[in-house]
Structure 1
């Protein structure tokens, strides 16, 4: 049986629309991720980010209480946060250059335009993890991810 690409990874999905969040979680699970935490707002996301280490975070650009770029700035700027260098994939319905540029400046590693396509999700996450590791000079973590894409 072939190995699923996200097997062994821990993920945080931050999305305020319940149906989209549920869909993304199901897509992650189908690709082998069996450890997914969920947050519908920035406060809940921050609670998770302070308490456990994640392999990656899928972060909605437009939350009711905040925006994903602001949250990314906050994550990258908190030297005491265990997830300061977590790979961040921005989920957005927008692909305007100004949003992509702002996300890049905030330390976002990748973005996915909604609706999320199952065939792109796993590879985009793996690429974002690799990008973040290269950016901060970290070796691959304790996951079973094949880094030879």
Structure 2
């Protein structure tokens, strides 16, 4: 995977452990993402979600001021939020099936267990954003520009 795979992406990292936030930021930087925003919890995440145009959110499951699941549920339910449909990957140390299911049911687009390798993170981000864009195109009743005739 090339070091420019995430060039131009605007990503919010929501993680309450500063060292982990810095590590994730370095991983994203090694993949070409230099438009990073960092939040240490639910409240600070809302500051970015309400005022920034973002491409993706990486969200920890456990935060000191709440849970990632609570944040994603509130975001998906908030029809007035500019980030309601923001692609989101739950990035956590938990791998229990009930936590994965809870996260996906709350509205997370994907789930990754820490620690994660840069290539896997980059590929998952691309997959989630691509999938979300495809959903928008399908909902609009048109396909991407191609020789294939859609619908």
How many matched pairs?
A: 138
TM-score, structure 2 as length reference: 0.86
| Corresponding residue of 1:128 | 128
| Corresponding residue of 1:46 | 46
Q: Distance in 2 between matches of 1:29 and 1:115?
A: 16
Secondary structure of 2:63's partner?
coil
Alignment of 1:1-149 (within 5 A): 4-137=4-137
Change in CA separation of 1:19 and 1:39 when aligned onto 2, cut-off 3 Å: same
Residues 103-147 of structure 1 deviation map (CA, whole Å, 9 limit, x = unaligned)? 1111101111011211211001111112222344479xxxxxxxx
Find runs of 4+ consecutive structure 1 residues off by over 6 angstroms. Answer: none
CA RMSD of aligned residues (A): 1.6
Gaps (5+ residues) in structure 1?
140-149
TM-score, structure 1 as length reference: 0.87
Secondary structure of 2:48's partner?
helix
| Corresponding residue of 2:144 | none
